[in-house]
Amino acid sequence: MAYRDTLAQLATDSEQTVLAAYHSYLEGLLDREETVQIIAQLIAEANGRARSLADMAMATQMMIELGEPLPVSGVDFPDESPRLRKAADTTLTVAEASPVPDAIVGRLARSEPLEAAAEAAQDSMVRSGLTRGWIRHKSANACQLCEWWWREGRVWPAEHPFQHHKGCTCSPKPVLKKGIKETWKTARAKGIR
């Protein structure tokens, strides 16, 4: 299974497990505080798996390009508990007033691992010290915004933030060649401008 397929499945699994907890809450089997805690924990676990998956995928792509084995750079696993508890609590409040509560709760559970993977992929590329830049690897059903961010296959400097949106399954593809033109943002961060 390809990286993007595995990541999409991970996001789907996250959505299904969080919706199961949400339905237990609606059935009165869990109180609100328990539900918030469980949702935050389930999403944190999915985010961790997504970060590890992205790190492995970036190392694999670099190994293929270099033709030699490389260590996995390792990514940070921040303590997301307070942020995820707040997000879960807010999501439950919004879902209560929504005609489509499952969609509201599901979106949080689905988009979190996708965002965690995108951030970890960029972090992995930068930490490797080998990546000079990246190209946006568009998903098959890339939206208009992703098409614009792609910019006909432009090579971005490794430190340039990978742009993504909620539910985005595009990923950065590492570029190892030298001579990649700095963007205004990366040049300013390096003190060049």
> pLDDT tens, 30-55?
999 999 999 999 999 999 999 999 99
With a cut of 60, say whether residue 193 has pLDDT above it. no
Average pLDDT over residues 155-181: 82
pLDDT band at 89 (very low <50, low <70, confident <90, very high): very high
Average pLDDT over residues 116-125: 90
With a cut of 90, say whether residue 77 has pLDDT above it. no
What angle (nearest 5°) sits at the alpha carbon of residue 116, between those of residues 174 and 6?
Answer: 70
- pLDDT value at position 180? 67
- pLDDT value at position 163? 87
With a cut of 90, say whether residue 90 has pLDDT above it. yes
With a cut of 70, say whether residue 83 has pLDDT above it. yes
Token code pair at residue 177: 């060649």
- pLDDT value at position 184? 66
